[in-house]
Amino acid sequence: MKIKDLRNLTDTELNQKMQEIYRKLLQLRSEIKIGKLQKPHEIAVNRSSIARIKTILNERTKEKEAKS
């Protein structure tokens, strides 16, 4: 998911999206163990998406702290 799209989401939507991606990542890791993973690059893509979401959430919390 692109960073522009993620910035338009609210904090709760970002948290839900992150949980969704964590579930996908868990599924991909289990597919690795049984040898059924077709697209191994999806693991890196999902990890990058999680990092993007966490970065946006951290930026927002820092902005809120700076305002108060």
Q: Where are the domains of the chain?
A: 3-67
* Alpha helix ranges (H) inside 1-68: 3-7, 11-34, 41-67
CATH number of 3-67: 1.10.287.310
pLDDT of residue 1: 75
Please tell me the predicted confidence (pLDDT) of residue 9.
96
Count CA atoms within 13 Å of residue 36 on its CB side.
6
Confidence (pLDDT) at 11: 95
pLDDT given at position 38: 92
pLDDT (tens, 9 = 90+) of the chain, 68 residues, equals: 789 999 999 999 999 999 999 999 999 999 999 999 999 999 999 999 999 999 999 999 999 999 98
